[in-house]
């Protein structure tokens, strides 16, 4: 029997493992090492071999080495839960949404159980009757699908995955639903459906109607009758504008999902998991895993195809075993998942492979390589699934499947998926999925309050070869994270591009190249610069459709900049809104009266309790006193200084809402969750902003500039999800 190798985890990877994956006792103390975790997972998954006459001990070592060499890693629930009492190992779930209260609330309960177990959920709400429709049993009117989506969103908010974080959802509505306009616009309100990605289901017929500028029928799902007619082009433009403004909604080309349905006898595919890469039937789940391409190649990016074949075959076997040793949250999920035995094998580290080979992301050469690599993995993966079917049997629903028609017995209805790999790619120290890098250099929060400077290793080596001529370049890259604007050789600038250096068409073409050889779908975000136009978004969607993508998500940089709702501002005296000035036009703060009335609030911070006293004058906020208990002199001085500057601003006519907008969401190195459960305090400025809100008795809606709630670093939109560029935070996985 082979021996176990030493795990190749870096110090940063071990930190991520300790924070999120390693088992802890009731006191929160870590009770296993990273190597123990790998052995726990490997031995649990290998136990499935015994049902087929295999040697679980031998396969335990093989699976352990597969992960310890960082050749392959399964999705997070498998790493977290394999070999534990929880035992739920899948990341992706789809649940049905019917039109009755019993069906809807049954799925709501199922959602809570799935999220509790660590999974994400997808839904298609198109069967729910529209708002205002008749409810025969009560003689009332229906509230519509969006009201129920808000119910699911709230449930997600209060149920944490595995007791650590909240889950994520995908909500799809067909473009023929009468409530489609409301659905398209719902995410423009920044606090609506915050735990949902949303997509509009577009059939081929709709795309044809857009092309011909034809009318489009709206159909009541309860009666199946036409209840309205709209311009297809009008809906299309609403979609484009919504995505341009907020990144939502995305689109799912619904007929493309169905075209990839290998088991049509089980129904129609019209839903996906939260990041869109896994189309599933109601009550179906799928477990995912990814191969690190950097482990398959040498320092020059030359792929060892024999090694890639070996790892692909072992990964398919590993994921098939997961289906057998999984503990499913519902019996219906158990039955449907085992019936089709879908798995999703993908890749990570694509950006580094291109760096190593000196190939620009999005170039013709990179597109060809993408097709070659994914075509190879799909071919070998299918071959291994066919071999497993020969020894273990085909998936139970094989009869009547497309595989049946092709005369090729398969163990798994689907084999390949390009999934998000946010946290597992941190463990493997490579880029996420098939995304380009988002920065060539950045600062990453590490242990406690330490901050590490990370510079892309391939760029460092390229600059080192330049010798003294590269002097100062790294400092410039660290300042901006990109080579754009840096006086560097053309070849280096050509290869070392970041997400926002790449034209959107090349993003789409890369997604399409991988989709060509992916059974399920591809999770990728099409990143656009802030200057992108509506035409750019429109062309992205049309290009994705023409190239065979199953869906598309775009995100325009900084499209969710801070927005403030000035509650009640219309009723304020205009003269009070305007800053006071002297004869020279300079600001002239109002004088302080002898007596003022106000209120005091207490906010917890990591430096002690913060006491804020907001005094009012003529119904307007006039001054703020800020005191920090049990803090050092410097921190108290900073607190007092902020209070004085805020007071000066208020007395000069600056609206309190604008001050809150500037301070709210600023991250620091020491965040804290309040004891009363009101929320997270990211920093001292954030505490002052939240205290001002409470003193005013109103909530100011601020998007916080897409900032990580864990460490305060910027969040990027990648693979249909929000990820931190600094720590291990991920919105979805």
Residues catalogued as catalytic: 273, 275, 277
Q: Which helix (H) or strand (E) is 102 found in, with range?
A: helix 101-117
Q: Phi-psi bin for 198: left (phi > 0), alpha (psi -120 to 50), beta?
A: beta
What residues have CB less than 8 Å from 76, skipping those under 6 apart?
A: 20, 21, 91, 118, 423, 424, 733
- What is the Cα–Cα distance from 395 to 715, expressed in whole angstroms? 40
CA–CA gap between residue 319 and residue 48 (Å, rounded): 11
Long-range contacts for 361-368 (Cβ within 8 Å, ≥24 apart)?
A: 361/436, 361/497, 361/502, 361/506, 361/510, 362/497, 362/502, 362/503, 362/506, 362/507, 362/509, 362/510, 363/506, 366/510, 367/509, 367/510, 367/513
Q: Give residue 602's Cα distance to chain centre.
A: 34
CB 358 within 8 A of CB 81: no
Give whole-number Cα distances, 728 to 52, 208, 277, 451, in Å. 38, 43, 21, 14
Query: What is the 8-class DSSP label of residue 481?
Result: S
Q: How far apart are CA 683 and CA 287, in angstroms?
A: 38
CA 609 to chain CA centroid, Å, is: 34
Q: Transcribe 539-577 into DSSP letters.
A: HHHHHHHHTT-SEEEEEETTTT------TTGGGS-HHHH
The CA R_g of the chain, rounded to the nearest whole Å, is 27
Long-range contacts of 363-371 (CB under 8 A, 24+ apart): 363/506, 366/510, 367/509, 367/510, 367/513, 370/434, 370/510, 370/513, 370/514, 371/513, 371/516, 371/517
- Cβ–Cβ under 8 Å, residues 436 and 719: no
Residue 144, phi-psi category: left (phi > 0), alpha (psi -120 to 50), beta (remainder):
left
């Amino acid at each position: 029997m082979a021996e176990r190798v030493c795990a190749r985890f870096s110090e940063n990877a071990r930190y991520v493992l300790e924070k999120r994956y390693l088992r802890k006792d009731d006191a929160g103390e870590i009770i296993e090492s990273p190597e123990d975790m790998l052995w726990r997972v490997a031995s649990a998954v290998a136990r499935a071999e015994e049902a087929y006459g295999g040697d679980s001990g031998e396969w335990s070592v093989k699976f352990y080495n597969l992960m310890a060499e960082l050749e392959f890693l399964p999705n997070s629930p498998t790493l977290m839960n394999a070999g534990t009492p929880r035992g739920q190992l899948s990341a992706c779930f789809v649940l049905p949404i019917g039109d009755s209260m019993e069906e809807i609330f049954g799925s709501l309960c199922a959602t809570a159980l799935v999220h509790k177990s660590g999974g994400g959920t997808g839904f298609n709400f198109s069967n729910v009757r529209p708002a205002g429709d008749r409810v025969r049993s009560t003689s009332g009117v229906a509230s519509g699908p969006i009201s129920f989506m808000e119910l699911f969103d709230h449930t997600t908010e209060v149920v944490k995955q595995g007791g650590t974080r909240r889950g994520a959802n995908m909500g799809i509505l067909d473009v023929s639903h009468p409530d489609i306009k409301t659905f398209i616009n719902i995410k423009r309100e920044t606090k609506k459906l915050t735990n949902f990605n949303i997509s509009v289901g577009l059939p081929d017929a709709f795309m044809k109607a857009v092309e011909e500028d034809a009318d489009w029928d709206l159909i009541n799902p309860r009666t199946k009758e036409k209840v309205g007619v709209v311009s297809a082009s009008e809906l299309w433009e609403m979609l484009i504008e919504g995505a341009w403004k907020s990144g939502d909604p995305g689109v799912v080309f619904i007929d493309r999902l169905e075209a990839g349905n290998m088991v049509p006898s089980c129904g129609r595919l019209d839903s996906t998991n939260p990041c869109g890469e896994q189309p599933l039937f109601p009550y179906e789940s799928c477990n995912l895993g990814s191969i690190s391409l950097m482990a398959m190649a040498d320092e020059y990016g030359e792929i060892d195809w024999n090694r890639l074949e070996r790892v692909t075959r072992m990964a398919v076997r590993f994921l098939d075993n997961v289906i057998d040793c999984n503990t499913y949250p519902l019996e219906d999920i158990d039955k449907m998942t085992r019936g089709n035995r879908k798995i999703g094998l993908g890749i990570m580290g694509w950006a580094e492979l291109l760096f190593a080979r000196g190939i620009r992301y999005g170039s013709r050469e990179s597109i060809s390589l993408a097709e070659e690599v994914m075509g190879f993995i799909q071919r070998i993966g299918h071959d291994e699934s066919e071999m497993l079917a020969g020894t273990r049997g085909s998936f139970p629903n094989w009869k009547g499947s497309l595989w049946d028609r092709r005369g090729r017995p398969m163990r798994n209805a689907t084999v390949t998926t390009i999934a998000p790999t946010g946290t597992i790619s941190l463990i493997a120290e490579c880029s996420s999925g098939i995304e380009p890098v988002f920065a060539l250099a950045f600062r990453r929060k590490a242990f406690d309050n330490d901050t590490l400077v990370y510079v892309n290793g391939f760029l460092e080596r390229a600059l080192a070869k330049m010798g003294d001529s590269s002097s100062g370049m790294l400092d410039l890259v660290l300042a901006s994270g990109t080579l754009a604007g840096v006086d560097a050789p053309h070849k280096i600038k050509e290869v070392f591009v970041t997400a926002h250096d790449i034209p959107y068409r090349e993003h789409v073409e890369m997604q399409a190249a991988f989709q060509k050889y992916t059974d399920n779908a591809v999770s990728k975000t099409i990143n656009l610069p802030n200057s992108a136009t509506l035409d750019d978004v429109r062309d992205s969607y049309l290009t994705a459709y023409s190239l065979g993508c199953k869906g598309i998500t775009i995100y325009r940089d900084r499209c969710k900049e801070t927005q403030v709702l000035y509650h009640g501002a219309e009723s304020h005296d205009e003269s009070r809104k305007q800053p006071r000035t002297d004869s020279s036009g300079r600001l002239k703060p109002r004088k302080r009266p002898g007596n003022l009335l106000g209120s005091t609030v207490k906010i917890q911070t990591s430096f002690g309790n913060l006491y804020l006293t907001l005094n009012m004058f003529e119904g307007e906020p006039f001054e703020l006193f800020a005191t920090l208990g049990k803090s050092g002199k410097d921190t108290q001085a900073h607190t007092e200084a902020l209070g004085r500057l805020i007071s000066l601003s208020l007395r000069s006519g600056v609206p309190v809402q604008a001050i809150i907008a500037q301070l709210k969401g600023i991250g620091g190195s020491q965040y804290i969750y309040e004891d009363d459960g009101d929320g997270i305090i990211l920093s001292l400025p954030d505490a002052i902003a939240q205290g001002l809100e409470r003193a005013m008795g109103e909530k100011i809606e601020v998007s916080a500039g897409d900032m990580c709630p864990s460490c305060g670093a910027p969040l990027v939109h990648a693979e249909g999800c929000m990820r931190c560029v600094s720590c291990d935070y991920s919105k979805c996985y």
